[in-house]
Each structure stands twice: as structure tokens, then as C-alpha cells.
């Protein structure tokens, strides 16, 4: 499953969206996702994908923007969360 497909699945499950609403180019604003919901969902994605998203202000306006952000984090070893030492 690709990053985009996983994010689409999570959006359907956690945000109660339909398949049509989670298409890659779909505007988050158009489907009624406000900035607070986006921030909360991004925290969920950090846990789900094991990454730490940077504090940079990357615009996230569409479903594809979210997938691109996660893919960039996964490609950057500094953003992959390290397991806690025992």
C-alpha cells in the first residue's frame, strides 16, 4: 500500500470521509477539514508512519499534499523517529 493509499484509508476511518472525498487533488477546505483537524490528523500520521514532521510551514491544502509531506519525511533519516531506549 502506498503512502497516499494509507493516508486515504486513515482519512476515511478517522475523519469519516468517503472515497470520493479523499481523492489526491481534493481540497481539504472543500471537504470541510479545518486547520485544527489537519493538525490533529498530522499528529496521528506521525505515529502511524513513525516520523517526526518538522516545524517548517509547508502548505497542506490537499490530500496529495499530505502524502507528499509524509513521503519527504520518510525519505529523510533525520525525521524518522528512533525507538526509545530501554
Q: Which of 34, 44, 68, 71 is catalytic?
A: 34
Quick: pLDDT tens for 32-77. 999 899 989 999 999 999 998 876 677 889 999 999 999 999 998 7
CB 33 within 8 A of CB 44: no
Which CATH architecture describes the domain 3-79? Orthogonal Bundle (1.10)
Q: pTM, whole model, 2 decimals?
A: 0.85
Place of cell 494509507: 6
Where are the chain's structural domains? 3-79
34 is catalytic: yes
Amino acid at each position: 500500500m502506498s503512502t497516499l493509499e494509507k493516508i486515504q484509508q486513515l482519512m476515511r476511518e478517522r475523519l469519516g470521509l468517503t472515497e470520493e472525498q479523499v481523492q489526491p487533488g481534493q481540497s481539504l477546505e472543500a471537504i470541510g477539514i479545518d486547520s485544527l483537524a489537519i493538525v490533529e490528523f498530522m499528529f496521528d500520521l506521525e505515529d502511524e508512519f513513525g516520523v517526526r514532521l518538522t516545524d517548517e510551514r509547508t502548505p497542506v491544502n490537499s490530500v496529495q499534499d499530505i502524502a507528499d509531506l509524509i513521503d519527504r519525511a520518510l525519505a529523510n533519516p533525520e525525521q524518522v523517529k528512533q525507538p526509545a531506549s530501554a
